[in-house]
């Protein structure tokens, strides 16, 4: 609970909505309970309390879903890129945005990237590679990312048409097998499940029917976090997360966590932090954000080898103020704040 409140307080401070002394209070409590977790929070890279408060998310929402909430081909194209091969907002801003009607060739992207980052061989940061490597194929990573970006453009119009027709967004975003032998493949983007989920969540800010924030999906990293939260030693937790026999136990355990977490946090939340976040429509306790925080718990418990915490985006508070109306619009369509 202490870790969760540190994440929550930090987000409000960055928004300009909470005194930093309150964050310091919760961080000090965490340090008293577990100094290793507190050090991991302050010294290693991690996300924020909600997938809706990460800087990359906010920048994509502001750039591509701010106007009227409609999903354009350009929006789908750039959001997919920003949630797959360019998940670092700094790199996305430096080498993007991308024109879906005139996409760069693999060679022109490689030239653009090498000019922006001379001497760098990797496009995707090592800690953000989950669900990306399968998209790239063989060869140098820079050229592979360029091929993906170029080829993706040609798939966008048909995929967007399917989404607009009401086809299941995750089906359209992921690879789909032909419905029968000899039948043609319907237009899809071929994204791995985890990356398709990230894209669908963002698109649902514009169109809530595309993804349910209370969907009970739990990925491998979140499952590892769940076992660690339950007190399993690292080796046993890794084995459990990798072993298919545990799957029947995961769903009810995750459902129970989603059920009990609000009351457990409320007992320790002396400043009403969680309620304040909920009022800002970032859904801090929806099932998908509980899953998100299990991934962050894993990072805190197993910080070894993680990159050092980078420089924070100084314009976060202004960026948040620009995006807040977009999230409020989604909440209004859902008849109330996103919990």
Q: For residue 203, which phi and psi values (nearest 5 degrees)?
A: -60, -30
Encode pLDDT of 298-333 as tens digits: 999 988 777 777 778 999 999 999 999 999 998 887
Reported confidence tier of residue 1, pLDDT bands at 50, 70, 90: confident
Nearest-angstrom CA–CA distance, 300 and 312: 18
Q: How far apart, in Å, are the Cα atoms of 118 and each of 112, 115, 123, 149, 235?
A: 10, 6, 12, 20, 39
Q: What pLDDT is recorded for position 107?
A: 95
Encode pLDDT of 223-239 as tens digits: 999 999 999 999 989 88
Which residues lie closer than 8 Å to 146 by C-beta, 6 or more apart?
104, 105, 106, 107, 108, 109, 110, 113
Encode pLDDT of 111-125 as tens digits: 999 999 999 888 887
Nearest-angstrom CA–CA distance, 336 and 203: 19
Q: What pLDDT is recorded for position 127?
A: 65
What does the mean pLDDT of the chain come to?
Answer: 89
pLDDT top residue among 278 and 338: 278
Encode pLDDT of 180-217 as tens digits: 444 455 668 889 888 899 999 999 999 999 999 998 87
Reported confidence tier of residue 72, pLDDT bands at 50, 70, 90: very high
Q: What pLDDT is recorded for position 74?
A: 96
For the chain, what is the radius of gyration of the CA atoms?
Answer: 20
Torsion of CA 64, 149, 104, 186, to 10 degrees: -90
User: Which class for 144: exposed (0-12), middle (13-18), buried (19 or more C-beta within 10 A)?
Assistant: buried
Q: What pLDDT is recorded for position 326?
A: 93
Nearest-angstrom CA–CA distance, 24 and 92: 32
Q: What pLDDT is recorded for position 137?
A: 76
The structure's pTM equals 0.89
| Averaged pLDDT, 247-273 | 92
Q: What pLDDT is recorded for position 69?
A: 66
Reported confidence tier of residue 103, pLDDT bands at 50, 70, 90: very high
Q: What pLDDT is recorded for position 160?
A: 95
Reported confidence tier of residue 339, pLDDT bands at 50, 70, 90: very low
Encode pLDDT of 32-69 as tens digits: 999 999 999 999 888 999 999 999 999 999 999 987 66
Encode pLDDT of 137-196 as tens digits: 778 899 999 999 999 999 999 999 999 999 999 999 986 554 544 445 566 888 988 889
């Amino acid at each position: 609970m202490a870790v969760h409140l540190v994440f929550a307080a930090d987000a409000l401070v960055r928004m300009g909505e909470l005194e930093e002394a309150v964050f310091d209070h919760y961080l000090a409590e965490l340090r008293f309970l577990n100094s290793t977790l507190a050090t991991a929070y302050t010294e290693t890279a991690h996300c924020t309390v909600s997938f809706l408060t990460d800087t990359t998310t906010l920048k994509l929402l502001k750039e591509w879903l701010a106007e009227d909430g409609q999903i354009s081909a350009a929006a789908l194209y750039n959001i997919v890129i920003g949630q797959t091969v360019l998940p670092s907002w700094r790199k996305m801003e430096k080498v993007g945005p991308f024109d879906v009607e005139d996409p760069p060739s693999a060679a022109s992207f490689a030239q653009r990237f090498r000019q922006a980052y001379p001497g760098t061989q990797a496009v995707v940061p090592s800690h953000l590679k989950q669900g990306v490597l399968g998209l790239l194929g063989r060869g140098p990573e820079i050229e592979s990312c360029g091929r993906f970006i170029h080829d993706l453009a040609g798939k966008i119009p048909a995929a967007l048409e399917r989404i607009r027709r009401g086809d299941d967004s995750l089906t359209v975003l992921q690879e789909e097998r032909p419905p029968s032998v000899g039948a043609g493949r319907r237009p899809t983007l071929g994204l791995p499940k985890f990356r398709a989920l990230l894209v669908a969540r963002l698109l649902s800010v514009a169109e809530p029917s595309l993804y349910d924030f209370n969907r009970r999906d739990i990925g491998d990293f979140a499952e590892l976090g769940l076992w660690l939260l339950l007190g399993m030693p690292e080796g046993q937790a890794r084995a459990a997360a990798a072993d298919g026999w545990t799957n029947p136990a995961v769903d009810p355990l995750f459902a129970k966590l989603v059920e009990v977490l609000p009351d457990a946090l409320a007992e320790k939340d002396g400043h009403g932090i969680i309620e304040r976040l909920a009022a800002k429509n970032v859904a801090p306790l929806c099932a998908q954000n509980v899953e998100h925080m299990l991934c962050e718990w894993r990072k805190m418990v197993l910080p070894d080898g993680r990159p050092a915490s980078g420089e924070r985006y100084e314009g976060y508070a202004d960026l948040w103020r620009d995006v807040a109306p977009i999230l409020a619009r989604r909440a209004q369509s859902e008849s109330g704040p996103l919990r």
